[in-house]
Structure 1
């Protein structure tokens, strides 16, 4: 069976760059790969990469310069760097995943307790 690797979506592409920025792969002022060439490399639509870059801009990590490319922000003195901001976002995402998992476990426990209570109260079991 010949299976092709899944093509990344914009959210996954943005997460990859967010991690790269957090890890210092792209420092302040660094240019991200050109959207058109990167889209071709990944085998995705240009709009997918553009949307990923837009997500990074909304996160305050990059800035697009018309006709020039997308660059990691170089913050004003005293402002957090894109690396610090990306690391904070990554930490928040990790914490959110953990909290979501805990909520699911609690939800499952409540459902089991409700089932146990319902079966104990059913008149057919007496």
Structure 2
């Protein structure tokens, strides 16, 4: 992809437009990962900050969703940004793990209450 020196838009907006065109043409399909900021910087021969600004524009438009440490992904246009984030397998896995931890904490809390009741001799569990 090349940038036009005659284009009056800032470079980061030109890059955002090129990526948007790639999304629209199907080059980048919903759920697919966009090139990293470093790859975009190299591909367009621009600064890393310029590439990151282009990705930020797409994020603000809701065209993409970024996941820290994983990358920037094309959002399915039929999904809202919030539901797309919830459908992310990593988020789903973390939610399930958190629920398992909460259940285990409830069991530990119940056991601790029983042990405390035995220790004070009353045998009665207070809550």
TM-score by length of 2: 0.52
Q: What is aligned with 2:70? A: 68
Aligned to 2:19: 17
State which structure, 1 or 2, has the greater radius of gyration over its C-alpha atoms: 2
Cα RMSD (Å) of the superposition?
Answer: 2.5
Q: Could you list the per-position Cα deviations for residues 13-68 of structure 1 after superposition, in whole angstroms to 9, with x for gaps in the alignment?
A: 00011111111111110100111122023221101010000000111100111111
1:75-116 alpha-carbon deviations (Å, 9 max, x no partner):
5xx548xxxxxxxxxxxxxxxxxxxxxxxxxxxxxxxxxxxx
How many positions carry a matched residue from both structures? Answer: 75
Structure 1 runs not aligned, ≥5 long: 81-126
Task: Note the residue ranges of structure 2 that are not aligned, 5 or more in a row.
Answer: 81-127
Relative contact order (alpha carbons < 8 A, sep ≥ 6): 1 or 2 greater? 1
Aligned to 2:31: 29
Q: Hey, which bits of structure 1, 4+ residues long, moved more than 3 A?
A: none
